[in-house]
């Protein structure tokens, strides 16, 4: 009986799809407020004060949200980078796979540990 090798694609595609939603709905407005309007003084900086941000990330729901935004958008971006490098003929497939999804896994782990220490 012939044995078929399972594709990694369904697993990473589900993470990619979920991350795409996060990246499309949340990231532009977050970048606009935290990276442009607040530093320019258009929006009051107390919104991201230490106590407020610490309280948000320290709550289980806020922590889960922050963890999801970081990890899912990373998986989303890394999945596209993995395929773009193929389009540009950069790197062997196995190496690209290890680097792209390895980095995504490390960032997920890092975000998870940080969120847990803030609880």
Partner 1 sequence: MSAGKPYHREVTRTWWLRNPFFVRYMVREASSLFVLGYSLVLLRALWALSEGPATYAAFLAALGSPWAIALHTLALLMVGYHAVTFLAMAPQTMRLEWRGRKVANTTIVAVEYAALVAVCGIVAAAFGVL
Select from 3-11, 91-99, 107-115 the region that touches partner 1 (CB under 8 A): 107-115
For partner 1, the closer of residues 5 and 117 by Cβ is 117
Single out the residue of 101, 30, 37 nearest to residue 71, CA to CA: 101
Alpha-carbon gap, residue 118 to 115, rounded angstroms: 5
Q: Can you give the C-alpha Rg of the chain in angstroms?
A: 18
**Tokens in use for 88?**
């540009």
Among 18, 99, 105, 114, binds partner 1 (CB under 8 A): 114
Is residue 11 within a helix (H) or strand (E), and if so which, with residue range?
helix 9-25
Using CB under 8 A as the criterion, which residues of the chain lie in contact with partner 1 when the complex forms?
17, 20, 23-40, 43-48, 50, 53-54, 57, 66, 69-70, 73-74, 76-78, 80-81, 83-84, 87-89, 107, 110-111, 114-115, 117-118
């Amino acid at each position: 009986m012939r044995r078929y090798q399972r594709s990694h694609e369904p697993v990473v595609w589900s993470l990619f799809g979920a991350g795409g939603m996060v990246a499309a709905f949340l990231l532009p407005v977050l970048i606009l407020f935290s990276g442009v309007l607040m530093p320019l003084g258009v929006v009051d900086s107390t919104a991201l004060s230490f106590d407020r941000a610490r309280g948000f990330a320290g709550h289980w729901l806020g922590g889960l949200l922050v963890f999801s935004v970081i990890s899912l958008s990373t998986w989303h971006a890394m999945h596209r980078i993995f395929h773009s490098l193929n389009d540009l003929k950069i790197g062997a497939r196995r190496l690209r796979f290890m680097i792209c999804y390895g980095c995504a896994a490390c960032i997920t782990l890092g975000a998870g540990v940080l969120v847990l220490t803030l609880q």
